[in-house]
Structure 1
Amino acid sequence: MQLPATNDVAEEVASSEVSSSRAASESTTDSEVEGHTPAHRRIKDTPDSAVKYHSASTLRRCATKLPALLITLFLELIPALVYSNGYALLEPYIGEDKSNLFIALNSLVAAVAGNFALQNSSNMSRAISIGIITKDRWMGHAFKEFLLGCVLSVELGVLFFVITGFVISPILFHGEVDATLGGVLALVFIVSTTIGSFSGLITPPVLYFFLRLDPSACAGPGETCFQDVVGSVVMVYMAQGVFALGRG
């Protein structure tokens, strides 16, 4: 009569041992996985820029960020000079009022293009920090993001064309719809945001993998300044060329 009870106890002991063994196995597996992630290997093998930065003093952090800020300060003088002359270049083709509008919309185009750069730079920096991309396999990830940036640039460019040519122009210019102005602005918008997307993608891996610099501290000149400098030239001189072709 006691055999069933004995069997029950034996089964409970065996079940407990199996559960303990399974828990230990899962714990070991989790530990092994955590200890062999690419991020852990990178921190172990080479000093991680984020770890070094957060353990640095205030003066050391200033020294890390100051060079990029100085480079940005001086390089941003280039688009300022380009835009200061932009009105004179465009006025013979589209008139005084539309030239003023064109230059004024620069801040909008630069802001959106800068957002493209910032989103992609943050995405690439995150992928680097958690080990999703490495020095040998980052270009595929960047290419996918670049294609996404191109699609978004075209979509927003079409919207910008409608807003500037069919909404803003009639409001400011006595009901006149100007598809040419909207089209040139849309073209400039697409090119500028595509440049911003590219610069944001390329800057973090180049800084981290090839120059051994911290992307979070040094990405400014690459992702925003480069985009602003090239974007300003595109916006003014490419627009001038398109308007000149239209007149000819």
Structure 2
Amino acid sequence: SRAFPERFITLIVTLIIEIPVLLMISGGSDRLCKEVGRTKYQLLMAFLPLSSAISGNVGLQCNALTIRAISHIHVTTENYFVWLRTELGSSFMLGLSMGSVLGIVAYHASGNDIIFAFTIFVAQFVSILTAGLTGTFAPLIITFLFHRDSGKWCGPLETAIQDIVGSFSMMILSYRLLILLGPFEIDPKDTCG
């Protein structure tokens, strides 16, 4: 009961912040499906939880390392920028490597469609880079600016922001890239609607 009120509040904040994800996935899906066809649309939706899990893991790694570094006084208000830059560099490399891996999987899953693979690569890269930024930056802000327990607030905050950015990358950014790099010939049996 001692931790219930504050932890409950963080979950409510997470729920409120996650509403745009609900709207993104439920709102513009028909148009995307019509543009790329049912098969690629289903593949795109299948990559959403993969991308979210991978980038979420990066965010949690950055978050845990930063919270520990703050608690052991390895990161202070005087040197936080060096830590942030180092973690962003690691996230950049993780984004390139995991984006490439997911892009290769997407290439094979889509029947060797290089445009689809590139789209998944970009979405994963953006998602991981953002996860690294939010996972590292959230404990710094919560600890040094708001003087709150980053262990309680960072997880839900980072998760919510990452879900929004990851869903945006996979749904909106992918949609725009597919339209920009398309058009696609869609088999009449593969049309939506």
Instruction: Note the alpha carbon deviations across 1:192-219, whole angstroms, 9 max, x for none.
Output: 1111111000000100111011011011
Alignment-derived partner of residue 191 in structure 2? none
Query: TM-score, with normalisation over the residues of structure 2?
Result: 0.89
Query: Which range moved further: 228-237 or 115-124?
Result: 228-237
User: Paired residue for 1:140, among 73, 82, 87?
Assistant: 82
Alignment-derived partner of residue 55 in structure 2? 113
Which residue type is aligned with residue 61 of structure 1? Answer: A
Query: Which range moved further: 68-77 or 82-91?
Result: 82-91
Report if aligned partners of 2:139, 2:154 keep a CA contact under 8 Å in 1: yes
For residues 27 and 107 of structure 2, the distance between their equivalents in structure 1, rounded to whole angstroms, comes to 24
The Cα shift of 1:73 comes to 1.6
For residues 221 and 105 of structure 1, the distance between their equivalents in structure 2, rounded to whole angstroms, comes to 22
The Cα shift of 1:150 comes to 0.4
The Cα shift of 1:86 comes to 4.4
For residues 86 and 122 of structure 1, the distance between their equivalents in structure 2, rounded to whole angstroms, comes to 35
Instruction: Note the alpha carbon deviations across 1:57-100, whole angstroms, 9 max, x for none.
Output: xx221122121111112221221221123431321221011101
Please, what is the CA RMSD of the aligned residues? 1.4
Map 1:228-239 → 2, pairs under 5 A? 228-239=163-174
The Cα shift of 1:245 comes to 1.2
DSSP-derived class of the 1:136 partner: coil
Number of equivalenced pairs: 183
DSSP-derived class of the 1:134 partner: coil
Query: TM-score, with normalisation over the residues of structure 1?
Result: 0.70
- The answer on 1:102 being equivalent to 2:44 is yes
Report if aligned partners of 1:91, 1:99 keep a CA contact under 8 Å in 2: yes
The Cα shift of 1:220 comes to 2.8
Alignment-derived partner of residue 130 in structure 2? 195
**Runs of 4+ with >2 A deviation:** none
For residues 233 and 181 of structure 1, the distance between their equivalents in structure 2, rounded to whole angstroms, comes to 16
Identity %: 25
Instruction: Give the structure with higher Rg (CA).
Output: 1
Q: Which runs of 5+ in 1 are unaligned?
A: 1-58, 170-175
Report if aligned partners of 2:60, 2:155 keep a CA contact under 8 Å in 1: no
User: Paired residue for 2:117, among 177, 182, 193?
Assistant: 182
Report if aligned partners of 2:91, 2:129 keep a CA contact under 8 Å in 1: yes
User: Paired residue for 1:240, among 171, 175, 178?
Assistant: 175
Report if aligned partners of 2:21, 2:164 keep a CA contact under 8 Å in 1: yes
Which residue type is aligned with residue 178 of structure 2? Answer: F
- The answer on 1:161 being equivalent to 2:96 is no
Query: Which range moved further: 233-242 or 102-111?
Result: 233-242
Q: Which runs of 5+ in 2 are unaligned?
A: 184-193
For residues 160 and 247 of structure 1, the distance between their equivalents in structure 2, rounded to whole angstroms, comes to 20
Instruction: Note the alpha carbon deviations across 1:7-45, whole angstroms, 9 max, x for none.
Output: xxxxxxxxxxxxxxxxxxxxxxxxxxxxxxxxxxxxxxx
DSSP-derived class of the 1:76 partner: helix
For residues 123 and 139 of structure 1, the distance between their equivalents in structure 2, rounded to whole angstroms, comes to 15
